[in-house]
Structure 1
Amino acid sequence: MAIGHFEIKKARNGRYHFELKASNGEIILTSELYATKASAENGISSVQHNAPEETQYEIKQSSTNQPYFVLKARNYQVIGISELYSSVSAARHGILAVTRHGTSTDIRDLTH
């Protein structure tokens, strides 16, 4: 079975973030912006550790009433945020994708 991967990127403002992509290349989780690449790498480690745990996900509603989910660390800090979905059911499918791909050890550094 194909598994997803992480991509570390540098934003225009010089900060770092990562995306978890499914095996089809679709972004399934996006991180916050970090001051250093090492912090982004620590965020990836946290995703790898917490992704398999159903209790670490929370489905929320956007200001436009669209569902999305967040993945939280054990200290309740948000590690990553999903895209907006058309239904809670679709958001649940997104969670399943993160549980499946979030333990990937394929980390691609695109900051060069």
Structure 2
Amino acid sequence: MAGHFELKKAKNGEFFFNLVAGNGQGILKSEMYSSRSAAENGIASVQKNCGEDSQFECKESNNGKAYFVLKAKNHQVIGQSQMYESEAGCANGIESVKTNGCSEVIKDLTAE
């Protein structure tokens, strides 16, 4: 099963999306957007940038766990991964975004 995007609305009225792998695991969470159209543009940016290694950046959190961000061409962060126990896990997460990020399936969960 291929991955998909889930478009959601936060309690504060802002919008965000998650990229979900085919196995149901969340692999990338977006920043918060003030409008639905801005969040949809964020999804389009993931679809456009997910295939390029140079758009990913691995980082280390304060607690020593690895995570990555996906950046647009203008260097703005589009989304962030979960925390991983190792750099290898982080690398696997990037590969999953590269595989699933091109998905055109967007599940609109804003009404929930």
Q: TM-score, normalised by structure 1?
A: 0.98
Q: Could you tell me which runs of 5 or more consecutive residues in structure 1 were left unpaired when the two chains were aligned.
A: none
Moved over 3 A (4+): none
Distance 2:13 2:54 in 1: 33
Q: Which residue of 1 aligns with 2:34?
A: 35
**Identity level (%):** 50
Matched, 1:65 2:64: yes
Q: Could you tell me which runs of 5 or more consecutive residues in structure 2 were left unpaired when the two chains were aligned.
A: none
Distance 2:55 2:32 in 1: 20
Q: TM-score, normalised by structure 2?
A: 0.98
Superimposed CA distance per residue, residues 82-112 of structure 1 (whole angstroms, 9 cap, x where no aligned partner): 0000000100000000000000000011011
Letter in 2 for 1:89: A
Q: Which residue of 2 aligns with 1:111?
A: 110
Number of equivalent positions: 111
Distance 2:94 2:66 in 1: 12
Secondary structure class of the residue paired with 2:62: coil
Distance 2:82 2:110 in 1: 23
- Aligned CA RMSD, in angstroms, stands at 0.5
Secondary structure class of the residue paired with 2:39: helix
Distance 2:106 2:41 in 1: 12
Distance 1:18 1:11 in 2: 10
Q: Which residue of 1 aligns with 2:7?
A: 8
Letter in 2 for 1:15: E
Letter in 2 for 1:12: K
Distance 1:14 1:57 in 2: 29
Residue 3 of structure 1: how far off its partner (Å): 1.2
